[in-house]
Amino acid sequence: MASTEIPSVSPTPMEGTFRPNTLSAADIAVLVVYFILILAVGVWSMWKTKRSTVNGYFLAGKNMSWWPVGTSLFASNVGSGHFIGLAGSAAAAGIGPTAYEWNGMVVVLLLGWVFLPIYIASGVTTMPEYLQKRFGGKRIQIFLAILYLFIYIFTKISVDMYAGAVFIQQALGWNIYLAVILLLVITALYTVAGGLAAVIYTDAAQTVIMLTGALTLMSFSFVEVGGWQAIFDGYSNAIPSIRVPNTTCGIPREDAFHIFRDPVTSDFPWPGVLLGMTMPSIWYWCTDQVIVQRSLAAKNLLHAKGGSLLASYLKILPFFMMVLPGMISRILFPDEVGCADPKVCEQVCGNSVGCSDIAYAKLVMELLPKGLRGLMMAVMIAALMSSLTSIFNSSSTLFTMDLWRYLRHAASEWELMIVGRVFVLILVVVSVLWIPLVQASQGGQLFMYLQSISNYLQPPISVVFIAGCFWKRTNEKGAFWGLVLGLLIGVVRMILDFIYPLPQCYETDTRPEIIKYVHYLYFSIILSLFTLVVVVCVSLATEKPTEEQLSRLMWSTRFDPVKRTEAKETGTFNIDNGLHHENEKSDGSVREHTNGSNAQHAETPSKLKSMLLWLCGMELNSEREQPPTPPPEAVVSSLEEEPYLRHVVNANLIVCLSVTVFLFAFWA
């Protein structure tokens, strides 16, 4: 059991903080088995799915069941940044960051029941494409596609890369470049080759590995600390022996076990948790390409709802998998994880701001026996790979469908497949080049850094989507200027936060009052209201949207029949409120139309070329001989639901919402 006495240490590098390669033969064997499993799942998914069409590569043929959709949503959300950052924030500030996880439980259900029916009815592949259909014009689509890519590269990829670097440093002492490049190459291989189907199925396998390993570590942590009550008793006494005198440095928060905290002085003001947290969460779960793309790949709306439910239930677990272990790590290692003197912190983890981000890696290396360390290495690699593959695949979709098609209107499907795959490789190169900047970045509380940036960039996007989905009067000018002005203000606040960083506990707070007293969660509320005012005022002052910009593109119009002219233009026809390609087979794949004369003269590729084409998911057929044609519109699934299964998912919706309310109320 953890003692309440505070051990004394000298301000020298802590033994065991930077370990050499401590993996035993058993650990290496576990890692080998893990990689074999993931590659096997990837190859199996490549055999199972058709990858040579836009629909097959970017939306997995719209043939995914609820369980791979749900596990992929969870795995895409819980990357290595979650394990390192959430545990680190919990070590520093208690259970407060859990509010983000349980807020996500509600908002991911909004995706399945509210937003997804609109996206399915509209027949889109990407979120910028939806706004282009809803508002017309191209500037919003292009602007948003570039913005999404910016957010992915400079927040998601950077955070996951930093988190992976922290774990590799703490656990193995490997060269970061070598380790990360190896992981990126593996992730790129099955992302390029298998498309979304391979990413989703491997995410399902990664989820099982993550849950098994993380819950195992949680069990060891509870045993080591002495049980549930010992966490409550020990955390408040987890004070480092060396800290700056006459300051609050290193002293745990009194409200560490509360989610709702003081509205003025705390790090998680409760009005901000209830309102300000929700707008960025709506962006993430309901309008982010990474998340929505997985739901659009579901067989039908019921399977998509089932996926949202599974993801929502799984979001209960980070509290036990990451938050509590992070707090236990501070109890067991207060001098390292909870270090409060800049010099000591610099020696412990190379970061004078604080070392709470080493909490999870410290537990792994100190508590787990041989063999299980290899399992946890597999867990962290799984978290990193699942998150990066999701970002790579969705970024590829955005670039190909929104930017490349804009530059080349007549691009053939073959060309789009090549461009999508090449862009993944470009992202890998960008990720590698980003490593030095990530290493040099301020670690501190990684999870809180990511959330604060989200609150500055994402609320305007959420407001524009909400207005477009639910207010008919919203037009292109209102949406565009709301987006631009809202983002401009958000970027200004973000820059001010970098210029005036949060002072350390031993420093005087000299920041401007607008930075000091307006918490980023409150700023999220203000920014959302400002954007909404701009959208409403500009929309009312300009022309009304056309009927084509409303039909099947809003909640109130999602069941509108498809016009015959639109059906002719897209090569589709209407059945049961759903669009189906005329050239689509009953299994959802697209039937190849071949021209007899071209087929006869088509070159027979060599065995080597055929193998390479298969690995890349490309089919050499007569389409290459034909003139380039615009790619077909995405298949739009029916919104009809089987009555019995609809009652099942709706009952689970009520249960899941009740669980969420209970969790918030119990820990409020």
Q: How far apart are CA 650 and CA 112, in angstroms?
A: 11
Q: How far apart are CA 132 and CA 479, in angstroms?
A: 11
403 in any annotated domain: yes
Q: How many CB atoms lie within 10 A of CB 397?
A: 26
617 in any annotated domain: no
Q: Is pLDDT of 440 > 90?
A: no
Q: DSSP label at 573? A: E
Q: Cα–Cα distances in Å, from 226 out to 220, 321, 415, 466? A: 10, 17, 60, 48
Q: How far apart are CA 349 and CA 329, in angstroms?
A: 15
User: How many alpha carbons lie under 13 Å from residue 161 in its C-beta half-sphere?
Assistant: 30
H-helix segments, 605-642: 607-615
Question: What is the average pLDDT across 21-46?
Answer: 78
| Cβ atoms 629, 410 nearer than 8 A | yes
Q: How far apart are CA 554 and CA 218, in angstroms?
A: 44
**Angle, helix 520-541 to helix 476-499, in steps of 10 degrees:** 150
606 in any annotated domain: no
Q: Which residues of 499-526 are buried (b: 16+ CB within 10 A; e: fewer)?
A: eeebebeeeeeebeeebeeebbbbbbbe
| Cβ atoms 106, 114 nearer than 8 A | no
Q: Residue 170: which residues within 8 A CB-CB, separation 6 or more?
A: 17, 18, 19, 349, 358, 361, 362, 365
10 Å CB burial of residue 554 (0-12, 13-18, 19+) is: buried
Three-class DSSP category at 175 = coil
Among 230-239, 372-381, 502-511, 626-635, which stretch is predicted with the lowest mean pLDDT? 626-635
| Cβ atoms 156, 77 nearer than 8 A | no
Q: Cα–Cα distances in Å, from 584 out to 49, 61, 576, 589, 645? A: 15, 11, 16, 6, 26
Question: What is the average pLDDT across 493-513?
Answer: 81
Q: Residue 423: which residues within 8 A CB-CB, separation 6 or more?
A: 395, 396, 399, 400
**8 — pLDDT class (breaks 50, 70, 90):** very low
**552 vs 381, residue with greater confidence:** 552
502 in any annotated domain: no
Residues in the chain: 668
To which H or E segment does residue 572 belong?
strand 572-575
Q: Cα–Cα distances in Å, from 97 out to 103, 267, 269, 527, 533? A: 10, 10, 12, 22, 30
Among 248-252, 270-274, 404-408, which stretch is predicted with the lowest mean pLDDT? 248-252
Helix, strand, coil percentages for the chain (3-state, nearest 5): 65, 0, 30
**565 vs 426, residue with greater confidence:** 426
Quickly list DSSP for 277-320. Answer: THHHHHIIIII-HHHHHHHHTBSSHHHHHHHHHHHHHHTTTHII
**Angle, helix 139-151 to helix 127-135, in steps of 10 degrees:** 160
Query: Taking the model in full, what pTM does it have?
Result: 0.81
Three-class DSSP category at 581 = strand
Question: What is the average pLDDT across 640-659?
Answer: 94
H-helix segments, 60-175: 66-77, 80-93, 98-110, 116-122, 127-135, 139-151, 158-171
Q: Is pLDDT of 581 > 50?
A: no
Q: What is the CATH number of the domain that holds 169?
A: 1.20.1730.10
506 in any annotated domain: no
Q: How far apart are CA 542 and CA 545, in angstroms?
A: 9
Q: Residue 568: which residues within 8 A CB-CB, separation 6 or more?
A: none
Going by C-alpha positions, the residue among 390, 379, 449 that lies closest to residue 83 is 379
Q: How far apart are CA 154 and CA 136, in angstroms?
A: 29
Tens of pLDDT, residues 65-107: 999 999 999 988 887 778 888 998 899 889 998 999 999 999 9
349 in any annotated domain: yes
Domain assignment of residue 55, given as a range = 44-447
To which H or E segment does residue 330 belong?
helix 324-332
**259 vs 182, residue with greater confidence:** 259
Q: Per mean pLDDT, which of 27-36, 197-206, 551-560 is the most reliable?
A: 551-560
Residue 241: both structure tokens together:
């022996």
Bridge partner list, 575 = 578
Three-class DSSP category at 231 = helix
Tens of pLDDT, residues 203-237: 888 888 889 989 999 999 999 999 889 999 899 88
Among 189-193, 473-477, 562-566, which stretch is predicted with the lowest mean pLDDT? 562-566
H-helix segments, 137-175: 139-151, 158-171
* pLDDT of res. 34: 83
Backbone torsions φ then ψ of 304, nearest 5 degrees: -65, -40
What is Dmax (Cα atoms) for the chain? 87
20 in any annotated domain: no
568 in any annotated domain: no
Count of domains observed in the chain:
1
